[in-house]
């Protein structure tokens, strides 16, 4: 076997030419989105009022295994991809583990995360359709930043509704979006009907993601030449994110490495779904077996404590229903939760795979996540995003089990991004102001009781 | 000629094994540091009270052309190096220039800049000497962050005196240093004699870099097992930073590219000195010729409007005298200046080369720098540090000259880092609150009048 460098960089020529559509290899397909009014599957025509036409096609297609990546998107990818697969030699040494640890690092771009992989694709299709612009919502700001960068590249108008509390507490994220020419509106705003209504009912509210989604959707569907875009959960997003897994697999194959365990953090599932795609494909086709682990925060445990049921994708209940592991669309994680991954539901594809026993899930408490983040930063030199640090926590835990048993397992995890705009959370951690509150069974049950009857 | 990819990544095996000591090829050597008390050249014995022994050797040696990079440092370098040399295809297209633009990107690490290249070397030699720790000062925080990362890796104590106004206005930089286990003290502090004295004379002062240097030096020289380290200006730092230029040259040679113009921003000179080292070496040996351009802020124009004279390296006048282009050690750039590169002097090596006519210098106003930064970010996807953006400004200006003349010049510039912790400056720019104040001749003359008589 060849010597394995610290960082495996693929050549530009090895950049994948196709995205991989995991659904094509699933026997049990993910359940379709339902129209909340009729409870019938959403049609292409219904979806195309909200999303670009080609994205609707990608959203609905569960049989075509590969979609060609347009040259224009590949050119953009070349600015920051192929992303490195890093051998965590220093972490292994520090842990004293016989395990071999690799991580796919998606943070080497200004948006600071993997979100850019789908943002550029969605912006491209909007441009191709001749649209003027797109609207979206953002909470912490990673998705909004990624979309701003993508729209700037294709000279599309970009309108971001940013949850008001984040808008005020994270002025730097907002400022990055302004560098890329996006207009950023604190939500709720007076610009939309739903915003005005909420402000009238709750004067002085600091907003929520659910409300920001509703405003973005309203603005898109009421403005000529605009569509709405979303950074996670959807099948189209998982499709675009498959580039993470495809590159990872190419890099591993090049050095003859077969992973035993693949680990990713899971909020809506965009990173996890992308990272595991080609590996899960092999598993589905019976070619190989891998342990695949989703890691979620103990404060928002969709997989580990949620219900597999049809639910609204948004808190405002204006979007279609999706069959997924959910805590109920009204679920809001404890306000002290700093670690991202706050979505109440989960990608329908991943939900189906989990329900079919093809992957595992663990939940980890917040303090343990930041401990792992700091340990990782000190030896590997990268200050990780809180979201990514959930995967680090699980990877370290698995590596420590190997230390006990002496097994030389190969662990691959997704390092989705950097934490440069999350230093408030790190500060909280250093000052001992973080707590590990998890929802009680009664609290979760209250959410389950409100699930729509489908 | 081979197709040139967007990003040229060298293999790990191509990581330089030696640093290059530019002084060895200089006919006119940089003038020695002088003891301020005796006005005699500083001896190794005198310097070793402040700096580690091996660093003193490197500081004083102006004849040995190559210093081997210890294996331990090379291992650390492998976590973030070789750094990519990027072909700015998108910027070229946007500008419509026939020029070919390349940039060496040093921002792919958590410190966000090239400073880590020297920090890890200085930490290594401190560890090797059996020291307990090191002290330093930091203003904006890039150097402090880099040193924290390096000390964490070698398990050395790291004590950073951070200018109080930065400590308060940049809590996130401070928090990054805490992730890496450094102790960060706002300066002036009650921990040192000089700090107590300053606080007594100026209660409520928000500090200055000069004061922080004095505190760090006092703490190092009064504590058993500690030395002081510095992130720029010194010969040893330029030596370590030569890795930037060596990698750049290897990457260019690999594709048969010869640059016409090499551009770097210049504050104390660490990035510029490192980037140009091997190219200037060829020029000094008469093998090749290049245009080499230093870019400095119009508000702190050491090269373009300074005097070449012996001066104190620090505002507190406790450090040795260096012969350099200087605005006077009491010079303080206008407080509205957000763009970094605020040092009153310049590396003695670069000063000598400039005085010998071997390189050029230009100064650029702040607003134009941020315009270039934003233009670059939008097409190249990287949000640049204000410091680096000085080089971008000059590179764009040269590329636009090529557009006029039709010349296909090859331009290489140093992109020293990212601006993720500089969003306050970008916000100022967006809000039109930046001004382009430059010092008057009379203000500069006042500084020159106070230069020490040597």
Distances in Å between the alpha carbon of A68 and those of A71, A116, B409?
Answer: 9, 18, 36
Residues of B (121-180) whose Cβ lies below 8 Å from A: 149, 152-153, 171-172, 175-176, 178-180
Whether B7 and A381 lie within 8 Å, measured CB to CB: no
Taking an 8 Å cut-off on Cβ atoms, the answer to whether A423 and B78 are in contact is no
| Cis omega (within 30 of 0) for bond into A374 | no
B4 touches chain A (CB under 8 A): no
Question: Which pLDDT value is given to residue A2?
Answer: 60
Closest-CA residue to A328 (of A315, A341, A342): A315
**Closest CA–CA distance from residue A401 to any residue of chain B (Å):** 25
How distant is the alpha carbon of residue A419 from its chain centre?
Answer: 15
pLDDT at A120: 98
From chain A, the residues in CB contact with B149 under 8 A are 381
Per-residue pLDDT band at B7 (split at 50, 70, 90): very high
CA distance linking residue B409 with residue A215, whole number of Å: 49
- What pLDDT is recorded for position A313? 86
- Which residue shows structure tokens 């695949």? A292
| Range B1-25 average pLDDT | 92
Residue B263 has pLDDT above 70, yes or no: yes
Pairing relationship of beta strands A85-87 and A100-105 according to DSSP bridges: antiparallel
Answer whether A109 sits within 8 Å of B380, measured CB to CB.
no
pLDDT of residue B171: 86
> With an 8 Å Cβ cutoff, is B93 touching chain A?
no
Would you tell me which residues 221-260 of chain A have a C-beta closer than 8 angstroms to some C-beta of chain B?
none
* Cross-chain Cβ contact A109/B418 below 8 Å: no
Q: Is A181 on the interface with B (CB under 8 A)?
A: yes
Q: What are phi and psi of B338, to 5 degrees?
A: -105, -5
**pLDDT per residue rounded down to tens, chain A (454 residues):** 468 999 999 999 999 999 999 999 999 999 999 999 999 999 999 999 999 999 999 999 999 999 999 999 999 999 999 999 999 999 999 999 999 999 999 999 999 999 999 999 999 999 999 999 999 999 889 999 999 999 999 999 999 999 898 888 888 999 999 999 999 999 999 999 989 998 998 888 888 877 898 899 999 999 999 999 999 999 999 999 999 999 999 999 999 999 999 999 999 999 999 999 999 999 999 999 999 999 999 999 999 999 999 999 877 777 889 999 999 988 877 777 776 788 899 999 999 999 999 999 999 999 999 999 999 999 999 999 999 999 999 999 999 999 999 999 999 999 999 999 999 999 999 999 988 989 999 999 999 999 999 8
Q: How many CA atoms lie within 13 A of B212 on its CB side?
A: 27
Closest residue in chain B to residue A374, using alpha carbons only: B179
- The chain-wide mean pLDDT, for chain B, equals 94
Kindly tell me if the per-residue pLDDT of B1 is higher than 80: no
A433 reaches B (C-beta below 8 A) = no
Could you tell me if A193 lies within 8 Å of chain B, comparing CB atoms?
A: no
Per the CB < 8 A criterion, the answer to whether B224 and B132 are in contact is yes
Least CA distance to A120: which residue of chain B?
Answer: B381
**Is A7 within 8 Å of chain B by CB?**
yes
Q: Are B270 and B233 in contact (CB under 8 A)?
A: yes
Chain A with chain B: Cβ pairs closer than 8 A? 115
B12 vs A contacts (CB less than 8 Å):
5-7
CA gap A246, B384 in Å, rounded: 30
Per-residue confidence (pLDDT) for residue B398, from 0 to 100: 98
Strands A321-326 and B7-8: unpaired
Closest residue in A to B88 (Cα) is: A79
| 8 Å CB contact between B315 and B239 | no
* Residue B2: predicted pLDDT: 60
pLDDT at B209: 79
pLDDT band at B270 (very low <50, low <70, confident <90, very high): very high
CB–CB of A153 and B378 under 8 A? yes
Q: Which of A11, A175, A177, A380 to mutate to test the interface with B (most CBs of B within 10 A)?
A: A175
A371 and B CB contact within 8 Å: no
Question: Beta A183-187 vs B133-138: how paired, if at all?
Answer: unpaired
**B227-238 residue pLDDT tens:** 999 999 999 999
The reply to whether residue B90 touches residue A109, judged by beta carbons under 8 angstroms, is no
Give B103's strand partners. Answer: B86, B413
User: Which of A12, A149, A383 has its CB closest to that of B179?
Assistant: A383
> CA-to-CA distance for B115 and A370, rounded, in angstroms?
26
Residue A103 tokens read as 């991580």
Nearest by CB to A79, from B90, B180, B430: name it: B90
Widest pairwise Cα distance in chain A: 66
pLDDT in tens, B51-88: 999 999 999 999 999 999 999 999 999 999 999 999 99
Mutate to test the interface with B, among A381, A384, A418 (most CBs of B within 10 A): A381
Q: Are A217 and A206 in contact (CB under 8 A)?
A: no
B288 contacts chain A (CB < 8 A) = no
Measured from the Cβ of residue A411, the count of other Cβ atoms closer than 10 Å reads 25
Q: Which residues of A touch B378 (CB under 8 A)?
A: 152-153, 179-181
| B430/chain A closest Cα distance in angstroms | 8
Burial of A430 (0-12, 13-18, 19+ CB in 10 A): middle
Phi, psi of A448 (to 5 degrees): -65, -35
Single out the residue of A112, A382, A85, A379 nearest to residue B109, CA to CA. Answer: A382
The residue length of chain B stands at 454
Chain A interface includes B181 (CB < 8 A): yes
* Strand B100-105 relative to strand B133-138, pairing: unpaired
pLDDT tens figures, B330-387: 887 777 777 678 889 999 999 999 999 999 999 999 999 999 999 999 999 999 999 9
Q: What is the pLDDT of residue B198?
A: 87
Please answer whether residues A359 and A277 qualify as being in contact, where contact means their C-beta atoms are separated by less than 8 angstroms. Answer: no
Is the separation of the CB atoms in A264 and A275 below 8 Å? yes
Kindly state the percentage of chain B with pLDDT values over 90. Answer: 85
Quote the pLDDT of residue B332: 76
Average of pLDDT values for B214-220? Answer: 93
State the smallest CA–CA distance between residue A114 and chain B in angstroms. Answer: 14
Contact A383 B110 (CB under 8 A): yes
The answer on pLDDT for B4 being more than 70 is: yes
Q: How far is B414 from chain A (nearest CA, A)?
A: 17
Tell whether A454 lies on the interface with B, counting CB pairs under 8 A: no
Average of per-residue pLDDT across B222-248: 96
β-sheet bridge partners, residue B36: none
User: From the list A11, A171, A423, which residue is nearest B175 (CB)?
Assistant: A423
CB nearest to A374's CB, from B79, B179, B424? B179
Q: Is A427 on the interface with B (CB under 8 A)?
A: yes
CB-CB neighbors (< 8 A) of A8 in chain B: none
pTM above 0.90, yes or no: yes
DSSP structure string for B238-305: HHHHHHHHHHHHHHHHHTT---SEEEEE-SSSHHHHHHHHHHHHHHHTTS---EEEEEEETTS-HHHH
- Report yes or no: A80 at the B interface, CB cutoff 8 Å: yes
A9 touches chain B (CB under 8 A): yes
Query: CA-CA distance, B449 to B451, in Å (whole number)?
Result: 6
Rounded-to-integer distance, Cα B350 and Cα B352, Å: 5
Q: Is A184 on the interface with B (CB under 8 A)?
A: no
């Amino acid at each position: 076997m060849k010597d394995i460098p610290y960082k495996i960089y693929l050549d530009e020529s090895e950049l994948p030419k196709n995205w991989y559509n995991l659904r094509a290899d699933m026997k049990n397909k993910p359940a379709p989105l339902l129209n909340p009014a009729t409870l019938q599957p959403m049609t292409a025509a219904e979806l195309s009022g909200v999303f670009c036409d080609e994205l609707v096609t990608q959203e609905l297609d569960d049989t075509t295994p590969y979609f060609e990546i347009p040259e224009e998107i590949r050119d953009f990818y070349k600015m920051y991809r192929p992303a490195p697969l890093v051998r965590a030699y220093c972490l292994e040494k520090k842990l004293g583990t016989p395990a071999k640890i690799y991580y796919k690092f998606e943070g080497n771009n200004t948006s600071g995360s993997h979100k850019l992989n789908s943002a550029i694709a969605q912006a491209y299709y909007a441009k191709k359709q001749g649209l003027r612009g797109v609207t979206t919502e953002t909470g912490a700001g990673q998705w909004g930043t990624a979309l701003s960068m993508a729209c700037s590249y294709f000279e599309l108008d970009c309108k971001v509704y940013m949850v008001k509390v984040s808008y005020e507490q994270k002025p730097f994220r907002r400022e990055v979006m302004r560098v890329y020419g996006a207009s950023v509106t604190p939500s709720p705003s007076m610009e939309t009907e739903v915003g005005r209504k909420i402000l009238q009912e709750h004067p002085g509210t600091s907003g929520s993601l659910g409300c920001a989604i509703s405003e973005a959707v309203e603005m898109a569907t009421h403005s000529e030449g605009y569509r709405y875009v979303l950074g996670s959960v959807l099948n189209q997003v998982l499709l675009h994110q498959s580039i993470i897994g495809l590159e990872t697999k190419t890099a591993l194959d090049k050095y003859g490495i077969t992973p035993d365990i693949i680990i990713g953090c899971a909020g809506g599932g965009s990173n996890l779904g992308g990272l595991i795609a080609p590996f899960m494909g092999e598993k589905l086709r019976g070619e190989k077996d891998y342990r695949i682990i989703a890691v979620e925060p103990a404060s928002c445990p969709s997989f580990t404590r949620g219900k597999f049921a049809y639910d609204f994708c948004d808190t405002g209940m204006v979007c279609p229903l999706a069959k997924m592991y959910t805590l109920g669309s009204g679920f809001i994680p404890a306000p002290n939760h700093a670690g991202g991954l706050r979505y109440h539901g989960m990608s329908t594809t991943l939900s189906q795979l989990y329900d079919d026993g093809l992957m595992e899930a663990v939940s980890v408490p917040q303090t343990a996540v930041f401990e792992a983040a700091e340990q990782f930063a000190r030896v590997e030199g990268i200050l990780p995003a809180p979201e990514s640090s959930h995967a680090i926590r699980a990877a370290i835990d698995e590596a420590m089990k190997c230390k006990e048993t002496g097994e030389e397992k190969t662990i691959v995890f997704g390092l989705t991004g950097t934490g440069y705009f999350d230093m408030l959370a790190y500060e909280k951690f250093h000052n001992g102001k973080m707590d590990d509150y998890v929802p009680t069974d009664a609290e979760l049950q209250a959410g389950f009781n409100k699930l729509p009857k489908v």
